[in-house]
């Protein structure tokens, strides 16, 4: 069962940020290196504790959380069973790569919930590390070395993946690893070819095929794709797109890596993002909601692919913290809770209600366009003009973010590719309370824009 809230979730005790938050935030700024998450810096909030879909700061102000640690807090905050599993485990053994009972269970649970013959999992402690391991595996299996990603794609910040990020993030980071390419993602709201689905016949992917043919050395080990692009703004591709990407991978003898770091474990209203198109990729990378906050990521693949040396050699695909006893306890708790409390269904049901409401906002407000979503991944573009789709100035978006915080809502509105991704335990009443706040802020923003 998802949590249920009868009284308002938001509590306001002080000015925001309150005095204790401000003092601790300023103290940390004396020695913290720059570069931590922008929205946390902008908020200047210091969180004290969380419960379900809410977070409470050190001044006692309680917020509804539509960020969920950017899709990490699948179970919300401090889920009692997850806490019990972790506290029980830390008292027994926390470190080491020996088999643990929980890890045995996690391997079985992963095989149970993933599609098709994805029966083998290896564990890591960060998403980029898992993506790099997946690329190493694809290279080992295919004996090829090139990798193709998509515009807008995000797969981490380490050297081996920078070249497949389809964004400006890699500027100034060259030289990149050779053999990495990217091609337009099927983003119909911002189609680079200015075409319309379905009459376009997924032209962008025909372009991808041509790009691979003409730009690579025909040694493509893998195509890596997010089934819904998270960091790029919860961009949902049209139906059939993942299937076509898989066909293209097959044409070139490449493996398909579905990066399910965000979409995995119920986030999109299905266990995995690929389920929407009914495909089984060769490799899946997972993280974030996998252990619901304990740092754990994974590479999931078939028996046939996994047993490829040197990846499959003893110590060939391992890491220091991957799948340690704490991670295994957290992942077991996370997957069991998602399954037993029907959080995939909750994500689909409450997510659909939220999407319906955000679609009303699109009709009501002049600066909202491109509303779309699946489950608890909702896209909402802030635009200057609905026809040209020119993006709203970042300063205005930041204003929306800060106004929402003042009213008790934490949400990723600081950028014009606004995305809503609450904890999967979010109940309908709290979802609507959060969206009421958003509507108030949008109403104020509309007035500001008209003046």
Ligand X SMILES: Cc1ncc(COP(=O)(O)O)c(C=O)c1O
Scanning 55-63, 121-129, 272-280, 334-342 for contacts with ligand X by CB under 6 A, the matching segment is: 121-129
Query: For ligand X, which stretch binds (CB under 6 A), given 232-240, 256-264, 321-329, 392-400?
Result: 256-264
**In the complex, minimum distance from the CB of residue 288 to ligand X, in angstroms, rounded to a whole number:** 7
β-pairing, 377-382 with 417-420? antiparallel
Q: Which residue is nearest to ligand X (CB)?
A: 127
DSSP 33-75: PS-S-HHHHHHT--EEEEEBTEEEETTS-EEEESSHHHHT-TT
Among 77, 120, 144, 155, the residue binding ligand X under the rule CB under 6 A is 155
Contact flag: residue 18 with ligand X (CB under 6 A): no
Any idea what DSSP says for residue 169?
G
User: To 5 degrees, how large is the angle CA 40–CA 172–CA 69?
Assistant: 20
For ligand X, the binding residue among 69, 76, 227, 287 (CB under 6 A) is: 287
CA 352, 354, 360, 362 torsion: positive or negative? Answer: negative
Q: Which residues contact 265 (CB under 8 A, 6 or more apart)?
A: 74, 113, 271, 272, 286, 288, 289, 290, 334, 335, 338
With CB under 6 A as the contact rule, which of the stretches 27-35, 99-107, 168-176, 225-233 interacts with ligand X?
A: 225-233
Position 134 contacts ligand X (CB under 6 A)? no
**Residue 276 CB, nearest approach to ligand X (Å):** 16
Residue 156 interacts with ligand X (CB under 6 A): yes or no: yes
413 φ, ψ (degrees, to nearest 5): -85, 10
Alpha-carbon gap, residue 367 to 387, rounded angstroms: 11
- Token readout for 380 is 């909402």
* Residue 259 touches ligand X, criterion: CB under 6 A: yes
The residue among 124 and 442 lying less far from ligand X, judged by its C-beta, is: 124
The residues that bridge with 412 in the sheet, in sequence order, are: 419
Among residues 185 and 367, whose Cβ is nearest to ligand X? 185
Q: How far apart are CA 200 and CA 237, in angstroms?
A: 13
Nearest to 109 by CA among 310, 268, 296, 386: 296
- Within 289-308, the residues that bind ligand X by CB under 6 A are 297
Q: At what angle do helices 101-113 and 325-340 cross, to 10 degrees?
A: 40
CB of 258: closest distance to ligand X in angstroms? 10
Q: Which residues of 97-116 are buried (b: 16+ CB within 10 A; e: fewer)?
A: beebebbebbbebbeebbbe
Which C-beta is closer to ligand X: that of 156 or that of 322? 156
Near ligand X by CB under 6 A: residue from 39, 63, 145, 154: 154
Residues 17, 69, 76, 126: which binds ligand X (CB under 6 A)? 126
d(CA 383, CA 362): 11
Q: Is 231 in the site for ligand X (CB under 6 A)?
A: yes
Figure out which of the listed residues 55, 255, 262, 383 binds ligand X, where binding follows CB under 6 A: 262
Whole-angstrom Cα distance, residue 77 to residue 83?
9
Nearer to ligand X, 22 or 249 (CB): 249
Nearer to ligand X, 57 or 259 (CB): 259
> Parallel, antiparallel, or unpaired for β 180-183 and 47-51?
unpaired
What's the angle, vertex CA 334, arms to CA 332 and CA 335, rounded to 5? 70
131 binds ligand X (CB under 6 A): yes
Q: Binding to ligand X by residue 185, rule CB under 6 A?
A: no
**Interface residue with ligand X, options 17, 127, 293, 325 (CB under 6 A):** 127
230 is an interface residue for ligand X by CB under 6 A: yes
Q: Is 128 in the site for ligand X (CB under 6 A)?
A: yes
Q: Which of residues 29-68 bind ligand X (CB under 6 A)?
A: none
CA atoms of 75 and 292, how far apart (whole Å): 6
Toward ligand X, which CB reaches closer, 37 or 443?
37
Q: Is 261 in the site for ligand X (CB under 6 A)?
A: yes
- Footprint of ligand X on this chain (CB under 6 A)? 126-128, 131, 154-156, 226, 230-231, 259, 261-262, 287, 297
């Amino acid at each position: 069962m998802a949590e249920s809230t009868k009284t308002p979730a938001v509590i306001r005790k002080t000015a925001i940020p309150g005095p204790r938050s401000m003092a601790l935030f300023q103290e940390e700024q004396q020695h913290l290196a720059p570069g931590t998450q922008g929205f946390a810096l902008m908020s200047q909030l210091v969180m004290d504790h969380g419960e379900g879909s809410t977070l409470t700061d050190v001044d006692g102000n309680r917020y509804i959380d539509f960020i969920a640690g950017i899709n990490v807090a699948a179970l919300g905050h401090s889920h009692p069973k997850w806490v019990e599993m972790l506290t029980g485990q830390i008292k027994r053994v926390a470190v080491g790569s020996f088999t643990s009972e929980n890890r045995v269970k996690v391997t079985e649970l992963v095989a149970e919930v993933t599609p098709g013959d994805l029966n083998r999992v290896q564990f890591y402690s960060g998403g980029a590390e898992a993506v790099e391991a997946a690329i190493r595996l694809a290279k080992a299996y295919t004996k090829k070395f090139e990798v193709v990603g998509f515009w807008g794609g995000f797969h981490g910040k380490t050297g081996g993946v920078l070249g497949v990020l389809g964004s400006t993030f890699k500027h100034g980071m060259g030289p990149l690893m050779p053999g990495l390419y990217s091609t337009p993602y099927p983003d119909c709201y911002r189609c680079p070819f200015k075409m319309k689905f379905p009459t376009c016949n997924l032209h962008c992917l025909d372009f991808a095929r041509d790009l691979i043919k003409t730009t690579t050395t025909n040694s493509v080990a893998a195509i890596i794709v997010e089934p819904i692009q998270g960091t790029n703004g919860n961009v949902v591709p049209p139906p059939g797109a993942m299937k076509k990407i898989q066909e293209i991978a097959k044409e070139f003898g490449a493996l398909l890596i579905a990066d399910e770091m965000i979409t995995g474990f119920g986030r999109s209203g299905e266990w995995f993002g690929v389920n929407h198109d009914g495909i089984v990729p060769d490799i899946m990378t997972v993280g974030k909601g996998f252990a619901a906050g304990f740092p754990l990521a994974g590479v999931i693949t078939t028996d046939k692919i996994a047993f490829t040396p040197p990846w499959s050699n003893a110590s060939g695909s391992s890491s220091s913290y991957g799948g340690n006893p704490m991670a295994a306890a957290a992942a077991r708790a996370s997957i069991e809770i998602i399954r037993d409390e029907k959080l995939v269904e909750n994500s689909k049901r409450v997510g659909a209600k939220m999407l319906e409401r955000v679609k009303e906002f699109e009709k009501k407000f002049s600066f909202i366009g491109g509303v779309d979503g699946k489950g608890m991944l909702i896209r909402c573009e802030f635009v200057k003009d609905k026809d040209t789709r020119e993006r709203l100035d970042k300063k205005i978006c930041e204003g929306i973010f800060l106004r929402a915080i003042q009213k008790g809502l934490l949400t990723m509105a600081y950028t014009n590719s606004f995305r809503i991704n609450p904890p999967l335990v979010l109940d309908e009443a709290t979802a609507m309370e959060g969206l009421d706040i958003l509507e108030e802020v949008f109403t104020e923003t509309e007035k500001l824009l008209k003046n």
